[in-house]
Amino acid sequence: MKVLLLSRYGPMGASSRVRYLQYLPYLRSHGMDVSVVPLFSDAYLRSLYEGRARWRDVIAGYMRRVRALLQARRFDAVIIEKELFPFLPAFAERLLRAAGVPYVVDYDDALFHRYDLHSSKLVRGVLGRKIDVVMRDAAVVVAGNDYLADRARGAGASSVELIPTVVDTERYQPRQTPPNETPVIGWIGTPKTSRYLQPLLPVFEALQARMPVRVVAVGARPEDFAGTPVETRPWSEETEVQSIQQFDIGIMPLTDSSWERGKCGYKLIQYMACGVPVVASPVGVNSVIVKPGENGLLACDDEWEKQLTTLIQDAELRRSFGSRGRKDVEDWYSLEVQAPRLLEVLSSTRPSKPDSQKALKND
Q: Using one digit for the tens of pLDDT, what is the confidence trace for 51-67? A: 676 788 889 999 999 99
pLDDT band with cut points at 50, 70 and 90 for residue 41: confident
Distance CA 303, CA 297 (A): 10
Q: What is the dihedral angle through the alpha carbons of 26, 30, 36, 42, rounded to the nearest 10 degrees?
A: 10
Q: Residue range 121-127: average pLDDT?
A: 96
pLDDT tens-place string over residues 77-98: 999 999 999 999 999 999 999 9
pLDDT band with cut points at 50, 70 and 90 for residue 352: low
Res 118 pLDDT > 70: yes
DSSP letter assigned to residue 354? P
Residue 18: half-sphere exposure toward Cβ, Cα within 13 Å: 24
Residue 285: half-sphere exposure toward Cβ, Cα within 13 Å: 27
Which helix (H) or strand (E) segment is 250 a member of? strand 249-252
Predicted local distance difference test score (pLDDT) of residue 358: 45
Which helix (H) or strand (E) segment is 81 a member of? strand 77-81
Mean pLDDT score of the chain, rounded to an integer? Answer: 93
Res 363 pLDDT > 70: no
Q: Strand pairing partners for 188?
A: 218
**CA nearest to 257, candidates 108, 147, 160, 151:** 147
Helices 55-69 & 91-98 angle (0-180, nearest 10): 10
- Coil/strand/helix, residue 8: coil
Predicted local distance difference test score (pLDDT) of residue 48: 75
Predicted local distance difference test score (pLDDT) of residue 90: 97
The Cα-based distances of 146 to 67, 83, 264, 303, 322 in angstroms read: 34, 19, 10, 26, 25
Phi, psi of 315, deg, nearest 5: -65, -35
The residues, any chain, with a CB within 8 Å of residue 165's CB and separated by 6 or more, are: 18, 19, 108, 144, 264, 265, 266, 269, 333
Q: Is 50 within 8 Å of 190 (Cβ atoms)?
A: no
Distance CA 9, CA 81 (A): 9
CB atoms within 10 A of CB 255: 12
Q: Is 64 within 8 Å of 37 (Cβ atoms)?
A: yes
pLDDT band with cut points at 50, 70 and 90 for residue 13: confident
Predicted local distance difference test score (pLDDT) of residue 74: 95
Predicted local distance difference test score (pLDDT) of residue 359: 44
Distance CA 197, CA 217 (A): 9
Burial class (CB in 10 A: 0-12, 13-18, 19+), 121: exposed
Q: Residue range 102-131: average pLDDT?
A: 96
Predicted local distance difference test score (pLDDT) of residue 356: 45
Predicted local distance difference test score (pLDDT) of residue 53: 64
Q: Rounded to two decimals, what is the model's pTM?
A: 0.89
Predicted local distance difference test score (pLDDT) of residue 351: 66
pLDDT tens-place string over residues 198-247: 999 999 999 999 999 999 999 999 999 999 999 999 998 899 999 999 99
pLDDT tens-place string over residues 258-284: 999 999 999 999 999 999 999 999 999
Burial class (CB in 10 A: 0-12, 13-18, 19+), 140: buried
